[in-house]
Amino acid sequence: DSGVTQTPKHLITATGQRVTLRCSPRSGDLSVYWYQQSLDQGLQFLIQYYNGEERAKGNILERFSAQQFPDLHSELNLSSLELGDSALYFCASSVASGAEETQYFGPGTRLLVL
């Protein structure tokens, strides 16, 4: 158990819909990262927040957005969902935001868009 929690574990929705994925980092961790893992793309970095502020951006679509709240939990919002958005979405956390901070991954949310 990494100490990172994600809800829900599974999510099934329809195209065009909007969903919110939630992540609670490990106690004391200030950075939260979001990743998408699909069969054909592997693990793709989406976005990072550090202490409430956006720190780095990866291959995140404009239909997707995220935020980190004062209590440090984070939400990833996916809108106008398409079939290709079906994937595992992982959240990771680390103590700080530097390169050599070990990232601890949550169990993931499996999203299926029908």
Partner 1 sequence: GESVGLHLPTLSVQEGDNSIINCAYSNSASDYFIWYKQESGKGPQFIIDIRSNMDKRQGQRVTVLLNKTVKHLSLQIAATQPGDSAVYFCAAWSFNDYKLSFGAGTTVTVRA
Interacting residues toward partner 1 by CB under 8 A: 2, 4, 33, 42-45, 48, 55-56, 58, 90, 92, 99-100, 102-108
Q: How far apart are the first and last CA of the chain?
A: 31
Residue 47 near residue 54, CB atoms below 8 Å: yes
In the complex with partner 1, the residue whose CB is nearer, 75 or 101, is: 101
Distances (CA, A) of 25 to 16, 18, 68, 110: 29, 23, 10, 18
Nearer to partner 1, 42 or 70 (CB): 42
Tell me the closest approach of the beta carbon of residue 43 to partner 1, in angstroms. 4
Distance from C-alpha of 64 to C-alpha of 85, rounded to nearest angstrom? 10
Quote the least distance from Cβ 106 to partner 1, whole Å: 5
Q: What is the DSSP letter of 83?
A: G
Q: How far is the CB of 42 from partner 1 (least distance, A)?
A: 5
Measuring CA to CA, which residue among 6, 23, 21, 38 is closest to residue 74? 23
Q: Which is nearer to partner 1, 61 or 105 (CB)?
A: 105
- Least distance from partner 1 to the Cβ atom of residue 15, Å: 26
Q: With respect to partner 1, which residue has the nearer C-beta, 52 or 107?
A: 107
